[in-house]
Amino acid sequence: MRRGNRVVAAIAVGALAIALGSGVARCAFRGEEPAHEVAGEESTDPGEEGAESEGAGPLAGTSWSSGSGEASLTFGESSVRIESPSGTSDVPYEVLGEYEAQNATVLSARVFLGGAWADASFILEGEEGSRRLDCDALDGSPFTEDPAQGFALSELDPGFVELVGGDRSALEAAVAEWARGNAPGATGASFDREAYIDYASGQVTATFTCSDPAATEVTVSYDGSAFSVWGIG
The Cα–Cα gap between 113 and 140 comes to 15
User: What pTM, to 2 d.p., does this model score?
Assistant: 0.47
Instruction: State yes or no: cis peptide before 213, omega within 30 of 0.
Output: no
- For residues 142 and 104, what is the distance between their CA atoms, to the nearest angstrom? 14
Q: Looking at the DSSP assignment, which residues form a beta bridge with residue 159?
A: none
Residue 141 CB neighbour total at 10 angstroms: 18
Give the pLDDT score at 86.
85
pLDDT tens readout for residues 156-210: 888 898 899 988 888 988 898 888 778 877 888 999 988 999 888 889 999 999 9
Mean pLDDT along residues 115-130: 85
Identify the band that residue 149 occupies on the pLDDT scale cut at 50, 70 and 90. low
Q: What are the tens digits of pLDDT across the range 60-94?
A: 778 888 877 788 888 887 888 888 888 888 899 99
- Give the phi and the psi of residue 130 in degrees, each rounded to 5: -140, 40
Q: Where are the domains of the chain?
A: 6-54+150-231, 63-145
For residue 184, how many other CB atoms are within 10 A of its CB? 25
Q: Name the DSSP letter for residue 58.
A: S
For the chain, the residue count is: 233
Can you give the pLDDT at residue 29?
A: 25
Q: How confident is the model at residue 5, as a pLDDT?
A: 44
**Does residue 99 register a pLDDT over 70?**
yes
For residue 150, pLDDT over 90 is answered with no
CB–CB of 190/179 below 8 Å?
no
Interstrand relation of 72-75 and 63-66 (parallel, antiparallel or unpaired): antiparallel
